[in-house]
Structure 1
Amino acid sequence: MQTTTADTPVPATRYGVLERLLRIVWIGPAIAALVIYIFFVIVGGASGFFSVPGTAGWLNTAAELGIIALPIGLLMIAGEFDLSTGSVVGAAAIIVALGTGFYGLPIELTMSMALAMGVAVGCFNAFLVNATRLPSFIVTLASNFILAGTSLGLSRLISGSSNVSLKDAGWAEPIFGSKWMFFNVSVLWYLVAIVLAAWVLKQTRFGNWIFATGGNVDAARRAGVPVARVKLILFIWTAVSAAFVGIMSAVMYNQGNAAQGQGYVFQTAIAAVIGGVLLQGGFGSVIGIVLGTFIYGIVSLGLFYTGWPTDWLATFIGGLLVIAVLTNNFVRELALNRGKKKP
């Protein structure tokens, strides 16, 4: 029989596995996603949650949300926030629908205009945050209201309605609006976004700058990190991603609506937080953000397959958010203190 004394080292297998797990930034969201998925498979599996259409349903939701949530998560790791993406989605959809559906302009021109609008919004947000040092929460919330009101007003002034049809998107239809076995093409675009975000965060110097900016902005400046440039690029990234989702939405659903993206205002940030990104910045991962979008999609569609009233969706999401924040902070503290063992 194997025994241990004060002078005998504790077997590595006793705590080694736990310590290695705690070093994984996204371990909390991974466990949560697995538990929630199994729960809805058990409760809603008989209604079709585990079927191909059911899987496609929550994955399509996660993909459209995740294309915006990824840069939002990176921006939050850098210590900033963006609440203007919801209006950017609606404005981009209206630009494409009005330009191509109402005026008959080429789809490539109106798509370029929508993406340019996203760049402009990102530059505007970054300029105000960098120049005035105002909280990005306030700056981008103001941008959200300004853009939402402008989009709605111009849409009704030009077309007489806040909802504009887009009957023929031409070559853009298969690229941005096609489906395969219930799966939207947005799932493929989400995969591209995941690869890009993971490469930037883990394989480039810019990724190190993101963590440094969110960890301690003053120390980052003293170390030579171009903090203003980091924030500018991330604000543009979030706005352009939102414009891209607006373009996909207009093509996929053959219409543009100025208010259709308002759900993304908080959903993207919630998905990032559920995925392990800390509100104070400096901590998070791409895999965690992806898992956060999966959790959001699973819960959103899972309630439908359980037969429960979907009125409870906000309750579930709010509860998940509280649990995620507490869990993420707890796991992070354990990870940071894993080397501080008592003798």
Structure 2
Amino acid sequence: MDLDAYVAEHGGEWRRLSQLCDRRRLDAAEVDELVALYQRVTTHLSVLRSRSPDPALLGELSQVVLRARARLTGRPRPSWAAVRGFMFAGFPGAVWRAAPWWCAVATVFTLLTFTLIGFVADNPETAAAFIGDEEAAHLVESGFAGYYTEFSAPTFAFHLWTHNAWLAAKCLAAGVLIVPVGYLLWQNVLNIGVVGGVMISYGRADVFFGLITPHGLLELTGVFVAAGVGLRTGWAWISPPEQLTRGQAVARAGRDAILVALGLVGVFAVAAVIEAFVTPAPVPTAVRIAVGAAAWLAFLAYVVLLGSRARADVDDR
């Protein structure tokens, strides 16, 4: 095969196809020309692949063919209807359907945490068993408050966001096994319970609750939602509804888990911004708590109002 002659013969068609691919708008005649050229150039590419050892030419022509194919088949564009459906029905609906589960998780978590806080506060010597006397003293003097100002706010916010999103992902993914979710939650109970108990035993309850409340309300609610949805998936495997097979039940719960995972990315982003910028801000404690409480109540209202509406729409179908 004379490669130079073949290129000279068909090169004009290749260039013309590339030009049509670059145009933003095509009229009817140009669309017909694009289709015809695409078919011919695809044949040329097939011939060259079987007879030409020139990788540069093959790569260049392959790119032209791929661009033409994309132009003919259409490029995927973001569907704002899908985004709206997710924001106003998909995510809040999935959270609402799992409300009994994450509300139960929140209740048990809160009871265990405050029980541990009270125990450590009433028995200060137990702090040594958990973290040691020196670490407890450092925590009270500067460690707890310093945690929120150790890094720049943007860096701290990004770290918190990724950490909490990863924790939620683990709860959602491990939910089918049940036990790992309990372990992850217990680690958080232990951390908050011991730190809170130590702070209270040293008379720093105002510092502890003043710093943890602004972001903790929304952040922990996100963790509760992730854990509850994960456990709901596990229960779907253990005890599926009568009308569904075990696989169908897990698949349905898993779809909700995916929606929740995507939505919690935004929830944890808001919580991270509050923790990095609002929690350590030099403003009255009441103001910081009010900001956190407003974000938390807004999320709950969003879930209750839009989630219940999405559930009603499904039931009406």
TM superposition score normalised by structure 1: 0.37
Higher RCO, 1 vs 2 (CA within 8 Å, ≥6 residues apart): 1
More helix by share: 2
TM superposition score normalised by structure 2: 0.40
Larger radius of gyration: 2
